[in-house]
Structure 1
């Protein structure tokens, strides 16, 4: 995880949200985030479980950068990246390069 200067376009402070509702609220915010924009997550504990869930449910769609890493406060940038281009119908995953 890289350390960058804060530049997110949105912010969510999960310390103000009931623990059982935190992940759901973060996923709601990420769903509405345009590609290229970022969400700053502020938390009172390490975001590893949330990050693992995001990466599992949306592989390759988000980049992560730490602004602050505990022990009392964590600030994390979650940036939505563009979806990978889908191969053309009828072609292999390499766009036909493997077929000669």
Structure 2
């Protein structure tokens, strides 16, 4: 079975100034229909708002795990 995700990003492993840069660069490399898995230690709501402003209608956002200590989000390119 193929891996559902092209990339997995464990956000806490990156320094603060690189987090969103790595996430958006990874998203840019996705082909339509591909997805990345975002793993974080808090709810990445600000990131979702940033996606909505930069890629309106161009992505899907699905929580696979919603806290309280671990959040996993499937972000797919439409």
Q: Give the TM-score normalised by structure 2.
A: 0.91
The question of whether the paired residues in 1 share the 8 Å contact of 2:6 and 2:30 is answered with no
Q: Could you report, residue by residue, the CA deviation over 1:40-71 in whole angstroms, capped at 9, with x for unpaired residues? A: 00011111000100111110000011011111
Residue 16 of structure 1 deviates from its aligned partner by 0.4
The DSSP-based 3-state class of the residue aligned with 2:56 is: coil
Query: Comparing both structures, which one devotes a greater share of its residues to helix?
Result: 2
RMSD, aligned CA: 1.3
Show structure 1 runs of 4+ deviating over 6 A.
none
Please list every run of 5 or more consecutive structure 2 residues that lacks an aligned counterpart in the other structure. none
The structure with the largest alpha-carbon Rg is: 1
Please list every run of 5 or more consecutive structure 1 residues that lacks an aligned counterpart in the other structure. 1-5, 82-100
Tell me what 2:46 maps to: 49
Query: Comparing both structures, which one devotes a greater share of its residues to strand?
Result: 2
Residue 21 of structure 1 deviates from its aligned partner by 1.4
Cα distance between partner residues in 1 of 2:7 and 2:50: 20
2:21 to 18, 24, 32: 24
Matches within 5 A, 1:1-100: 7-81=4-78
